[in-house]
A and B are shown apart, each in its own frame.
Chain A
Amino acid sequence: MNSYPTAEGRKVLLALIETIDTNGAYLSEIDGATGDGDHGINMTKGARRTKEKLGDQNVTVPQGLDMLGQVLLAEIGGAMGPLYGSFFIDMGAACGDSPAIDKEVFGKMLKAGMNAMQDLGGAKVGDKTMMDALVPAVEGYEKAVAEGASFSEALNRMAAAAEKGKEGTRDMIAKLGRASRLGERSRGILDAGAASCSLILKSFSDSFQSAEQK
């Protein structure tokens, strides 16, 4: 597998929706420990709304990402709506009209998504947010590509770095958002944003790699 056909966005979008929907309760539970427990509820609401909007139409990958991002931005609110909304919209925009998503194109998409989140949220690695999964994931991916790894290998290394980054939030003290008010008491609990980010990146990895197995 060297690339994924851009035209087959429906599959990528449905996989993202499914991932968010099935993990809603889990995300809310983690969020409830440090935030207000609505992370999963709101993400799930956004995913379901996107599914309704998608209906049975075919979309390209950038169209699908834009659709999901616009729903999160327009209808979900909270902190996750604008953060993930911008993330998906800018990822889609970075894909542009490339006919296939290869490791270079996806690298650009990841970077654009990360920049959008950084610009809006202002979080840094170590603040106990989704950036703790996203930044190492993007770095891991870029390093893999630089070392000449295949697209599949780079995706696997991205997903593994995201997972590791997510686990790392357990030992951190939250510095931003509602959990930051907890100070020391936020230690020992995973960050819900990092958890959802890791799941989302894994979903991308699985969708792109499934192209080969068919």
Chain B
Amino acid sequence: MQRIFNDPSRVTEEALEGILLGHPDLLAKTENPRVVRYVGSPVKGRVGIVTGGGSGHEPAFVGYVGKNMVDVVSVGEIFASPSAHIFRDAIRAADGGAGVAILYGNYAGDNMNVKMARRMVGADGIKVETVIANDDVASASKDEREKRRGVAGEILMWKVAGAKAAIGASLEEVIRTAQKAIDSTRSIGIGLSSCVIPAAGKPNFHIEPGKMEVGIGHHGEPGVKVDDLKSADEMAQIALDYILPDLPFNSGDEVVVLVSGLGATPVMELYIVFRKLTELLGKAGISIYRPYVGNYFTSLEMMGVTVTLMKLDAELKALIAAEATSIGLTQPKLS
């Protein structure tokens, strides 16, 4: 294993310690070492945004804690949901008296731990609501959308909900916009190589040389098909072939495009995919309001790319336009 760590069982702890040391202007510790908050959160009278998930997806999830973004994050072991206690402590840390929105991805472990955490804080009188992201079109058919996984589209959900909470919206309003954000978002991943959890010490799964897996999940969950390795342009086409008809996205739509590497992909190659996406979307009459290209949501050292599209309406557009500061996403107010 050609990797950089000390004790394989302490990778999450040590990485998190480093992240906190590296971003004292953004991130603050809480009593629970697996719960990290934005230095400016919670704000009294404002809805708190909580997310969380397994580690190994950096900058997700901790990297989206910040101004007008996520208030508090729960940090799990690599590829494992944070425990119920971690989510519970995150809810408490995010509470400013106006309720807490937990916005997370659709995975069995996260669902169970969030469910238990909500029960645990029941007696505290904190109002808690959830939105469960399910933007990955490859993980289940359209008529079983509730089974789909949440992937990179979660970032756009946090962006929208964080901006909404920042303007003082009620919990109900924050939840409604977060739900609208994810309902308007579709993603797909293409994987070219596997990844190694340090404590496991060997690849999680296998992709043969010369092959690629279309629809791969963020933990190497198998996709919809294994295909011969294609060119960047063909990958862009394949991604859109799955995403566009699913929502569907139509001519005249305005979208956000998010292209993320899975950890090992050279960033320049992400731009080659993005270049083709721009051309193909143009031909389809779909205009790009805001692109995000880079390593936004990774899977350790997996080689591959994810493509996410969010269809905008006036409300979502204004929330995407808001200023934001976090490790993973920083932008001035867009015009």
Contact = CB atoms under 8 A, between A and B. Distances in A.
Interface of A: 28, 32, 36-38, 41-42, 45, 73-83, 85-86, 120-121, 176-178, 180-182, 185
Contacts of B109: 77-82
A36 B55 CA distance: 13
Given A75-B83, A77-B86, A82-B84, A182 B222 contact: yes
Interface in B95-120: 107-109, 112-113, 115-116
B251 to A, nearest CB: 32
B157 interface: no
B141 to A, nearest CB: 11
Contacts of A82: 83-84, 109, 112-113, 116
Interface residues of B, number: 35
Query: Which 3 A-B residue pairings sit nearest by Cβ, starting from the closest?
Result: A78-B80, A77-B83, A79-B109
A79 B112 contact: yes
Nearest to A85: B84
B81 interface: yes
Dominant SS among interface residues on chain B: loop
B53 to A, nearest CB: 10
Given A36-B204, A36-B220, A120 B83 contact: no
13 contacts: A32-B202, A42-B77, A45-B77, A75-B85, A77-B76, A77-B77, A78-B81, A80-B109, A81-B81, A81-B113, A120-B112, A181-B217, A181-B222
Interface in B173-213: 197, 199-200, 202, 204-205
A178 B108 CA distance: 7
Contacts of B77: 38, 42, 45, 76-78
Nearest to A40: B200
Nearest to A179: B221
B30 interface: no
Contacts of B250: none
A73 B85 contact: yes
B222 A81 contact: no
Contact of A32 (B85, B107, B149, B200): B200
B221 A77 contact: no
Nearest to B136: A181
A36 B83 CA distance: 17
Given A37-B197, A78-B77, A81-B84, 18 more contacts: A32-B202, A32-B204, A36-B79, A38-B80, A38-B197, A41-B200, A73-B83, A77-B80, A77-B81, A79-B109, A80-B109, A81-B109, A83-B112, A176-B108, A178-B107, A178-B217, A181-B139, A181-B222
A33 B9 CA distance: 21
B261 interface: no
B94 interface: no
Nearest to A45: B9
Contact of A36 (B76, B84, B197): B197
Given A36-B204, A38-B199, A121-B112, A81 B83 contact: yes
Nearest to A121: B112
- Name which of B81, B84, B149 has the most chain A CB atoms within 10 A of its CB: B84
B82 interface: yes
Nearest to A176: B108
B37 interface: no
Nearest to A70: B85
A28 B81 contact: no
Contacts of A121: 108, 112
B299 to A, nearest CB: 10
A178 B221 contact: yes
Contacts of A45: 9, 77
Contact of B84 (A73, A178, A182): A73
